[in-house]
Structure 1
Amino acid sequence: MPAARFDPDPHQEALQWLALLSRPGSHAQQRKAFAQWCQDPENARAFAALQHRPGSVPTPAGRPRPRPLALRRSHWGSLLGALFLLLLAALAFVYWPLMQRLGSELHTSAGERRSVRLADGSTLHLDGASAMNVDLRGRTRQLQLVQGLVDLEVNLDGRALEVQVDDVSIQVFSTRLRLSRYGDHDELVVLNGKALIRQGGDQRLLSAGERVRFDSGHLEAVEKVDTRSLQAWRDGRLIARDLPLQQVLEALAGYRGMRVWVLDAQIGQRRISGDFALDPASNTLDALIADQQLRAYPLLGQALIVH
């Protein structure tokens, strides 16, 4: 390709060479001709001075300046993101009891009843879907009821024994007691001996045959209880004597590993009595729901909505 001819002014020629070489598709013959042109010292100085001059480099033809990206926030994207976070929160809420139970040191599956002998000689009788943590290494033995129901037979080996249920601490002076957790309250029953229960600055001292209910807010008054009916679960039976329907549903649903939400508070407080078989608990639960003329809807196999 013949070399292009330019004006004899080195500065003008340098500008033309710069524009030519900046175009896309410049080939070897053009670069060779440019190298020959730069052999003249005056041409080389003119080209070097042009490169260092601000604003002297022309924009190549056919290559438009890129426009800055305008980021627009989509309302649909924000809505989908919020729905996704809401779904994650709902799944975590529904499956949290199962994850919490599986993460405990001792736990039972839905419908399983198991007895565990501890290293200090004490025995735990765990109901279905129950969980406990145990630490026997210190001078004070520490137990924590995470979920469900447990009968504790204590071996008095000279060390103190404390049971923790959330912010409630129970100092055990007895050889037998029962602890259970329900949806709206927890419960301590002393079967033999004594136990001191503390919550903040409040405390109660229980003797054999006495019960106290408590939640995250306060301890209720101590009351007498028929301990024989409370032990029926170890024989696969639930004996209800004027109990709230909500509590009975929770106990039966626990053998499925499910929680219960009764949408109508008045229905949940309905008092019922009866002798219910726990094995299989699913048949008993369905029969009770039908007998009370209620409807139940399972939720992801982890909960039951009743109304």
Structure 2
Amino acid sequence: MPAKQLQPDPQQEALEWFSLLRQPGCDEPLRQAFAAWCQVQQNAQAYAELETFWQQLQPPPARPRPRQVAARRSHLGKWLALLFLLGLGAVAYLYWPLMQRLGSELHTDVGERRSMRLADGTTLHLDSASAMNVDLRGRTRHLHLVQGQVFLEVMLDGRAMEVEVGDARIQVFGTRLQLARHAGHDELVVLSGKAMVLQGGDQRMVSAGERVTFDGKRIDPLQKADLKTADSWRSGRLKATDMPLGQVLERLAGYQGQRLWMMDEQTAHRRVSGDFNLDRPGESLESLAAAQHLKLQGVLGHWLVVR
């Protein structure tokens, strides 16, 4: 069940309607549902703002031009087309994580945590802004962590289980483990049993009480895991013990739907410890910034710039 009830987000719902109404097969019942949704003033305003922004990205209509300035107008058209593509790319970059979540079988919104039991008895605990796909039909059960973080309590039913994380595969031989996707790497923590990480031609067996990070190029050496704080996020806390400052800021910013941009890379590697409230990420960020003498600047509601 969700850890807390979220207020409707007109901007996010407007984006979902914007996508649905432009898909092939949009029928009359869907349009009627959209009209009913627009009866709420905040919803109608949010959709109108999105539509206006989209129209601003469209290239201007072609007009007849004198032949003597055709070459100059042609270059202008190319620049406008380039600006349009750049704007479209920026929009896709901003909303791609949201579209990934909406296209996944299981997902949570920003700031939401949810627990669910699968048909085989396995329990998934999804963190904020997380998404998974599940296929339990074959002799090997397949899970795919698209984004975010998940805590797995695996039911052993005689079948193997594999979890896809980026380019890596995790073969599960235990009952409790945690997987997370961060900005620059992925992470596995095993709380009971064992799990095998396979990445290209490399592999690493991870036992209970151990953690390992990996990316598309390599698997890092095994480290000892702090099992008392590894899953503290499930109770709405981020308990950091000698954790890189950049990772703490990334987690807190993610809980309010922002991507982190560190101006000083060395500051990101600074080690910090503390107990932060994930249900009040804004307050936690302000407190941490004051303690570390940092300045925070939000940009368009999508980025958090740290100086």
Q: CA deviation at 1:96?
A: 1.1
Report the counterpart of residue 5 of structure 1 in structure 2: none
Structure 1 or 2, whichever has the larger Rg, is 1
Deviations 1:203-223 (A, max 9, x none): 001110001100111000111
TM-score (norm 2): 0.75
Matches of 1:215 and 1:263, distance apart in 2: 23
Specify the code of the residue in structure 1 equivalent to 2:100.
Q
How many residues end up aligned between the 2 structures?
Answer: 240
Deviations 1:208-267 (A, max 9, x none): 000110011100011111111112111111111111111001111121122212122111
Cα RMSD (Å) of the superposition? 1.5
Report the counterpart of residue 253 of structure 2 in structure 1: 253
User: Residues 109 and 257 of structure 1 are in contact (CA less than 8 Å); yes or no, is this contact kept in structure 2?
Assistant: no
Q: What is the 5 A alignment of 1:118-267? A: 118-267=118-267
Residue 83 of structure 2 aligns to a residue whose secondary structure is: helix
Matches of 1:281 and 1:72, distance apart in 2: 54
Matches of 2:281 and 2:290, distance apart in 1: 14
Matches of 1:301 and 1:248, distance apart in 2: 19
Report the counterpart of residue 298 of structure 2 in structure 1: 298
Report the counterpart of residue 39 of structure 1 in structure 2: none
Matches of 2:114 and 2:263, distance apart in 1: 32
Deviations 1:52-107 (A, max 9, x none): xxxxxxxxxxxxxxxx9564342333222222211111221122111111211111
Report the counterpart of residue 28 of structure 2 in structure 1: none
Matches of 2:85 and 2:281, distance apart in 1: 35
Structure 1 runs of 4+ aligned residues shifted over 3 Å read: 68-71
Residue 291 of structure 1 aligns to a residue whose secondary structure is: helix
User: Residues 153 and 176 of structure 1 are in contact (CA less than 8 Å); yes or no, is this contact kept in structure 2?
Assistant: yes
Specify the code of the residue in structure 2 equivalent to 1:289.
A
Q: Which moved more, 1:170-179 or 1:231-240?
A: 231-240
Where do 5+ consecutive residues of structure 1 fail to align? 1-67
Matches of 1:221 and 1:173, distance apart in 2: 20
Specify the code of the residue in structure 2 equivalent to 1:132.
M
Q: CA deviation at 1:289?
A: 2.3
Report the counterpart of residue 268 of structure 2 in structure 1: 268
Report the counterpart of residue 90 of structure 2 in structure 1: 90
Matches of 1:249 and 1:304, distance apart in 2: 9
Deviations 1:33-58 (A, max 9, x none): xxxxxxxxxxxxxxxxxxxxxxxxxx
Q: CA deviation at 1:178?
A: 0.3
Matches of 2:304 and 2:289, distance apart in 1: 11
Specify the code of the residue in structure 1 equivalent to 2:249.
L
Identity among equivalent positions (%) equals 61
